[in-house]
Structures are given as C-alpha cells and as structure tokens.
Structure 1
C-alpha cells in the first residue's frame, strides 16, 4: 500500500505539491493523472525518497521508503528510463543492480525475457530506441520482484503492441495482489488499464475514486434519438420537462440529443406515447472528457488553438531598392 498524507513541496516561490493526501491499495491498477506541471513527478519522487517533502509524509506499506532495508525487493520504480549508463549493456546494467542488492544474477535473464529484451541483452543501452529504453527501465523495476510498483509514463515511446503488453503486465501484477501506481498522459489507455484514479491539479487533489465513478460524476452522457415523427416526440419530451437539442448524425439525418437521461427512460416515454423509434442509443462520456472538464482550471500551459495569422504580403520594392 502507498500512502501520502498532507504531502507538500515548496520550491522557493512555487508550491509544486500542496497538502496532498491519497491512498493506493493493492490488487488494482491506480492511474495517477494530472496536467503538465500538476506535481505528479514531484509526488512520485517524494514517495521513493528522492525529494524531501516540505511538510507531510509518504509511506510504503506503513514505512518511510528510506527506512526499508532492501527497497528494491519491496518497491520497484520507473521514474526516468534514461537513467542508464549508455556504454553498459542491458544485461550489465541489471547485473550490477542485482549484485549490489543481493539478488541472484539469474533473475536478470528472467526479467529481460519478461520485457522482451533477451535478444539484445548484450547491446549497449546508449543505442536503444526510446521504447527499448522503457522496456529496460521496466526490467529494472521488476528485478527485485517487488510488491509495490511506481511507474511514471511507462508506455512512452512504445508501439501499439508494446502498449498493449504493458497494459496486460500491469493488470497481471495487480491481480497478483501488488500495489501498482502508474502516471500517464494517454487517457484512452488509462481508461482501459486502471480501475482507480488519483487526479491532481496544481499540486492539489482533485479526485480519488474509481474510473467509472470519475467519468459518471464529472461528465455528461447523451441519448441519441431518431424517429419518423421526431417533432411529435420532441413535444412529448418538452411536456415531461426533459430538455434536448436538435442534431444530425453522420449521414445528415435529424436526431434529438438528450443529456443526463438514460436510454431506458427515453425508450419508456416513446413507448407510452406511441412513437416508434428508429434509433435509441446512449453515448457514454470518455475519461478524456471527464478529465478535461475537471482539470480545465488547473492547466499550467495553454496552447493557442486559433489558426496562425497569415504572413504579411512582401512590400513592393521601390525603384532605388532594386
């Protein structure tokens, strides 16, 4: 289990983490989400003792990370996949870590096989692609067979097959009873991988809940209705005090869009009013929509989505400039 209690980190005039408290339980994958600059990396560094909190405390299984006798066998961390000597081979990088922590060297071959790097075990890490570097970082995190894992952007640089593999790996580790905390900006991937979420913005806790509850509580769902007598059904909705907007589907056919009502409720109304529907579908909100709605006021850096202004036309040369 991972616990953060009142974690605060002040850098001169900047409060990177502000009185942050949450718990990560074993048995499920917990996604750690937040916009750039939200304080995710700083929080993870405090959890493993790389940064000292200004206030508050962090505990792994009830103990400060620095008080764990052999941390690598209890906590596996991937915070920076580039933290590898470029002239060491993948095998050599893992072997010195194993030997320094009393781990059998045979474990190196096991984790290299697990992450798919057996064929390049003798290759220097400096020649690895970004995705291969991520796999090596995961191998290092798994080397001590820990019960707690903290992974910062573990799928960064991986191809679709690699992303799917990491997803399955994290879920398998969680099913084994391990505690898995993973940060990522790939919200669609987190929606498929995580069961619980810890969401922060500007260093403060925004949500600590399940993925399903987060989507349900912080977004809207829409019921799409099409019918031959659409105007009559619109009148029935109005009579029942149910708001709607008019829209069109991808083929240009008119439809009604009803928010925050279930398809069962709308279908029952259509049946009671004798209107035959040609479409009754429910569009579920995504994790991305819920995330943007909740963190809109916590985004540190905003891009300009407007089209760039055209470049000014070149000035005509005067006779004496030719």
Structure 2
C-alpha cells in the first residue's frame, strides 16, 4: 500500500506539488491523471525517494522507500525506460539488478519471457525501439515480484497488442492483491484499466474516487430518442421543463437528444403518451470528456487554433501515435 500525506514540493517560486494526500490500496489499479506539468512525475519521484519533499511524507507499506531493505522485493517502478546503459544487454541489465537485491538469476529469464524479450535478451539495450525499451522497463519493475507497482506512462511506444497486454497484466497483478499506481495520457485506455482515479492539476488534488464515480460526477448523460412522432414527444418534454435538442443520427434520421436524463424516465413518458419509439438509447460521457471538463483550467499550456483552411480550419491536426518497432537497430 502507498500512503501520501500532505506531500509538497517547492522549486524556488514554483510549487510543483501542493499538499497532496491520497492512498493507493491493494487489489486496485489506481490511475494517476493530470495535465502536463500537473506534478505527477514529481510525486512519483518523491514516493520513490528520488526527490526530497519540501513538506509531507510518502510511505510504502508503512515505511519510506529509503528504509526498505532489498526494495525490488516490495516495490517495482518504471519512471524512465531510457535509464539503461546503452551498451549493456537486456539480460545483463536485469542480472545486475537481481544480484544487488538478492534475486535468483532464474528470475531474469522469467521476466524476459513475460514481457516478450527472450529472443533479444543478448542484444544491447541502446539499439532497442521505444516499445522494446518500455518492455525492458516493465521487466525491471517486475523482477522482484513486488507487491507494489509504480508505472509512469508504461504503454508509451507500444503497439495495440502491447497496450492490451499491459492492461491485462496490471489488472491481473491487482487482482492478486497488489497495489498498482499507473499514469498515462491515453485516457481511453485508463478508462479500461483503472478501478480508481487520483486526478491532480497544478500540483493540487482535484479528484480521488472510483473511475465510475468520477465520470458520473463530472459529466452528464444524454438519452437519444428516434420516433415517427417526435413532435408529440417534444411538446411533452417542453411542458415537463426538460432540456433537449433536435439532431440527426448517422443515417440522417431526426432524433431528440434529451440532456441529463435516464432511459427509464423517457421510456415511461413516451409510453404514457402512446408514442412508439424506434430507438431509445443512452450516451454517457467518456473519461476523456469528464477529465477535460474538470481539469481544463489546470493545463500548463493551451494549444491555439490554426488559420482558417489549415489542417481542418481551426483545429490542430491529430498526430500519429508512436507505434512499437519490433526490429533491433
């Protein structure tokens, strides 16, 4: 278990982390979210004793990281996958870590197989692609079979298969009773991975609740209705004082979009009017929409718009996500 109490980090006039308090409980995947510059990496570094807090404390299983003997047996961390000697092979990188923490050499082969690097175990880490480096970093974190995992952007550079594998892995590890703290900018992936969310902005705690409750509390739901008698239903919705919009679906058919309501209520209303429905569905906001709605004022840098006619007339053109390259350079 990870316990963070009043954690604060000051860099001159800048307060990177401001009085953070939260727990990472066993048996759950806890997502650690926030805009760039929110203080996520700094917080993780303080938990691991790499940065000294200005105030507050962070403990793992009741002790500061520096007081843990043979820490790889208790805590596995991935903060920077590039922090590997480029001329050392993947196997040798793990072997020296194992030896320094009293871990059996056979465990090196186990974790290399687990992360899919057995075939390149003898290759120098400096020639690894971004995705392969991430896999080696995950192998390092898993080396001591720890009960606590701290992972900063572990899916960065992985292809879809790799992302799915990481998701399945961390959820399986949490199901075994381990504490997992994981940060990622891929919010759609975090929605599938995290049971609980700790959200920060400008170093301060913004939310600390289950993923389901976070989305429900910070976004609304919309009921979509399609019928041959929309005008009758619209008149009743207006009389009830309900907020709705007229729209069309993907096939150009007219619909009503009723805001902040549930299908049960709308269905009963339509039944009472004798209005047959061709469609009655609910659309709930995504984690991404809820996150942006809550943290929009906490971003360090805001993108501007492009001149009219450029890259979609006022929108920033999406950039391709880095994909894993399975070739060794």
Whether 2:263 is the aligned partner of 1:269: answer no
2:174 counterpart residue number: 174
Q: CA deviation at 1:309?
A: 8.2
In angstroms, what is the RMSD of aligned CA positions?
Answer: 1.0
Instruction: Give CA deviations for 1:212-265 in whole Å, capped at 9, x if unaligned.
Output: 000000001110111111111100111122121111111221111111110111
- TM-score, structure 1 length as denominator? 0.95
Give the 5 Å matches for 1:156-235. 156-235=156-235
User: After the TM superposition, which parts of structure 1 deviate over 4 Å for at least 4 consecutive aligned residues?
Assistant: none
- TM-score, structure 2 length as denominator? 0.93
Distance 2:100 2:66 in 1: 17
Give the 5 Å matches for 1:91-102. 91-102=91-102
Secondary structure of the structure 1 residue equivalent to 2:156: coil
Q: Which runs of 5+ in 1 are unaligned?
A: 311-322
Compared with structure 1, are the counterparts of its residues 238 and 308 closer, same or farther at alpha carbon in structure 2 (3 Å cutoff)? closer
Q: CA deviation at 1:306?
A: 3.5
Secondary structure of the structure 1 residue equivalent to 2:215: helix
Give the 5 Å matches for 1:1-322. 1-307=1-307
Q: Which runs of 5+ in 2 are unaligned?
A: 311-329
Secondary structure of the structure 2 residue equivalent to 1:277: coil
Aligned residue pairs: how many? 310
Compared with structure 1, are the counterparts of its residues 148 and 264 closer, same or farther at alpha carbon in structure 2 (3 Å cutoff)? same
Instruction: Give CA deviations for 1:129-188 in whole Å, capped at 9, x if unaligned.
Output: 000000000000011111000000000000000000000000010011000000000000
Distance 1:227 1:100 in 2: 69
Specify the structure having the higher radius of gyration (Cα): 1
Secondary structure of the structure 2 residue equivalent to 1:224: strand
Secondary structure of the structure 2 residue equivalent to 1:119: helix
Q: CA deviation at 1:277?
A: 1.1
Q: Any conservation in 1 of the 2:85–2:126 contact (CA below 8 Å)?
A: yes
Distance 2:130 2:94 in 1: 18
Secondary structure of the structure 2 residue equivalent to 1:199: strand
